[in-house]
Amino acid sequence: MTDRHDPSTALETTGLGKKYRRGWALRDVTFRLPAGRICALVGPNGSGKSTLLSLAADLIAPTTGAVRVFGADPRSAEARRRIAFVAQDKPLYPRFTVDETLRLGRELNPGWDQAAAERVIAEAEVEPAARVGSLSGGQRTCVALALALGKRADLLLLDEPMSDQDPLRRHRMMGALMAEAAEHGTSVVISTHVLAELDGVCDFLLLMGGGRVRLAGDTEAVQAAHRLITGPRADHGTAEIARHTVVERRVTGRQLTALIRPSAPPAEDGWIVREPSLEEVLLGYLRAPDAPPLITSGARGPDAEVPA
Ligand SMILES: Nc1ncnc2c1ncn2[C@@H]1O[C@H](COP(=O)(O)OP(=O)(O)OP(=O)(O)O)[C@@H](O)[C@H]1O
The helix (H) or strand (E) run that includes residue 225 is none
Residues 201 and 267 both lie in one domain: no
What single string gives the DSSP state of each residue in 246-296? EEEEEEETTEEEEEEE-SSPPP-TT-EEEPPPHHHHHHHHHH-TTSPPEE-
Residues 234 and 187 both lie in one domain: no
> What's the 279 CA to ligand 1 centre distance in angstroms?
24
Q: Which domain holds residue 54?
A: 9-218
**Strand ranges in 166-267 using DSSP code E only, listed in sequence order:** 187-191, 204-209, 212-218, 227-232, 245-252, 255-261
> What's the 240 CA to ligand 1 centre distance in angstroms?
40
273 vs 267: CA distance, rounded Å = 8
> What's the 237 CA to ligand 1 centre distance in angstroms?
41
The predicted model scores a pTM of 0.91
Q: What are the tens digits of pLDDT across the range 33-83?
A: 999 999 999 999 999 999 999 999 999 999 999 999 999 999 999 899 999
Closest-CA residue to 120 (of 72, 69, 161): 161
Q: What are the tens digits of pLDDT across the range 108-167?
A: 988 899 999 999 999 888 999 999 999 998 899 999 999 999 999 999 999 988 888 888
Q: What are the tens digits of pLDDT across the range 171-213?
A: 888 888 888 889 889 999 999 887 777 777 899 999 999 999 9
Would you report the helix, strand and coil content of the chain in percent, each value rounded to 5? Answer: 35, 30, 40
Residues 199 and 96 both lie in one domain: yes
Taking phi first (over 0 means left), then psi (-120 to 50 degrees means alpha), and beta for anything else, what does residue 281 get?
alpha
Q: How many domains does the structure of the chain reveal?
A: 2
Q: What contacts 81, CB < 8 A, 6 or more positions away?
A: 111, 153
Residues 252 and 109 both lie in one domain: no
* Residue at 298 is within a domain: no
> Which residues have any ligand 1 atom within 6 Å of their CB?
20, 22, 25, 43, 45-51
> What's the 59 CA to ligand 1 centre distance in angstroms?
14
What's the number of CA atoms in the CB half-sphere (13 Å) around residue 135?
A: 29
The answer to whether ipTM exceeds 0.90 is yes
254 vs 45: CA distance, rounded Å = 34
CATH code where residue 228 lies: 3.30.70
Closest-CA residue to 278 (of 207, 178, 209, 230): 207
* Residue at 259 is within a domain: yes
Residues 126 and 67 both lie in one domain: yes
The helix (H) or strand (E) run that includes residue 81 is helix 77-82
21 vs 19: CA distance, rounded Å = 7
Q: Which residue's C-alpha comes closest to atom 7 of ligand 1?
A: 20
